[in-house]
Amino acid sequence: MSDLRNHEVVKFFGSFNDPDMVAHPDTIEEFLNWWLPTPMVFEEFYRLVGARVKNLNPVLRWWLSQNTNLLRAGAMRAYWGSRYEVNFKQWLPTYIDQSEDRNKVALPKLPSTGTKTSGPTAFFGLTSAYAVGFVSREVLVMQLVNRFKNGIFWQLGEKDKREDLLYLGKRPTSIAPDFPPAFADFLLALEDLPWQDALVTAHGSDEDDN
């Protein structure tokens, strides 16, 4: 096993839970514009922890670029195999329980399904699409600024400050600032896991459609 803890993407993920940024959500955009690694750096890290970009044909790459977890699901299964379909989905409830216990705040539920996994799943999907060049830096920054600011406002009990994302015409599900560091630890644990395929469909069946 190589030591990936010093990889640029791991350091970037670890920076999200900085107390100063949590205390000043308006600094998130500046942080992302300055510190977001390039797609090439993301692709390298994701490949090292098991992603297979060679599995993405042009159609699946297009699905990966779409705006909801539901539409990205088939491409995520192709790109990550069972790491997405099995390992990630089994790990998410553990992260949610630990986050809520640590912050003493219940994470928001997706109104249509009552689940709390939509924001973290979107982070995985959006950064995967960015890594293979199918989401631009500008779009990723826009999405993450909105999702993390809203996540911080939720955590601080200032829910009325949450905002919609105009180009989507809705308020995307939020992401708590403690998710990226926890997600980095999850990914690092996958490095030596053997590849296993996952069922690939165009649309998938993920319930967290946001």
For residue 134, what are the domain limits?
Answer: 8-188
Torsion angle in degrees (nearest 10) through CA of 73, 200, 182, 117: 40
Q: How many helices (H) and strands (E) in the chain? A: 11, 0
C-beta separation of 73 from 204 below 8 A: yes
Residue 205: pLDDT above 70? no
Tens-place pLDDT, residues 80-139: 999 999 999 999 999 999 999 999 999 999 888 899 999 999 999 999 999 999 999 999
Quick check: is 117 in a domain? yes
Quick check: is 24 in a domain? yes
Q: Give the pLDDT score at 7.
A: 97
Per the structure, the count of domains in the chain is 1
Residue 203: pLDDT above 90? no
Quick check: is 202 in a domain? no
Distance CA 149, CA 120 (A): 14
Distance CA 94, CA 24 (A): 28
Quick check: is 35 in a domain? yes
Closest by Cα among 197, 172, 180 to 45 = 180
Quick check: is 196 in a domain? no
Quick check: is 57 in a domain? yes
Quick check: is 197 in a domain? no
Tens-place pLDDT, residues 32-62: 999 999 999 999 999 999 999 999 999 999 9
Q: What Cα–Cα distance (Å) separates residue 41 from each residue in 48, 56, 70, 92, 200?
A: 11, 18, 26, 25, 26
